[in-house]
Amino acid sequence: MYSMYGRICILLLIFVTGGCVSQSYTEEDARHDALEFISNAPTFSFDGIKKTLAIASIEPADCQGCYTVTVQFTCRNTGYGKRASLFVVNRPTEHVATIHIEQGEITRAIIDNQWDELNQKSITG
């Protein structure tokens, strides 16, 4: 019915058209990205307790594919960021991280309204 050339054109049209359909960034994507970010970030990776890592909430933000994800977790010691060379107090410490995600990109990550996890610095002074 179709010539070989016609079949190739149809397949090529399907392939090109399919590539133009964009996938939207979903709440589930944001959940995954937030958990992966915190798991690998300095504060949690230093001494975070894996079984305590949990999503507290996910809220749509002010743009398409943007979310604010709140993550809770506990670390074995006090403090934030890379603490290997610092004196730390061995006391379980609960943390709340607020993570802003825009289409899969972490644009802001604040722990306990005190620590900028992306830039590894205090925001309280």
Q: What is the mean pLDDT of residues 60-64?
A: 94
Do residues 105 and 118 lie in contact, with contact meaning Cβ atoms separated by under 8 Å? no
Alpha-helix runs per DSSP H in the chain: 4-20, 27-40, 42-47
In the chain, what percentage of residues exceed pLDDT 70?
82
Q: What's the order of all strands across the beta sheet hosting 121-122?
A: 54-60, 66-75, 93-102, 105-111, 115-116, 121-122
Domain-located, residue 79: yes
Integer Cα distance of 37 and 124 in angstroms: 22
Local confidence band at 22 (pLDDT 50, 70, 90 cut-offs): low
Domain-located, residue 68: yes
Residue whose token pair is 């410490």: 93
Domain-located, residue 69: yes
Token pair in block for residue 43: 């504060």
Domain-located, residue 83: yes
Domain count, the chain: 1
Domain-located, residue 30: yes
Q: Which pLDDT belongs to residue 3? A: 66
Q: What is the pTM of this model?
A: 0.79
Domain-located, residue 88: yes
Domain of 84?
24-122
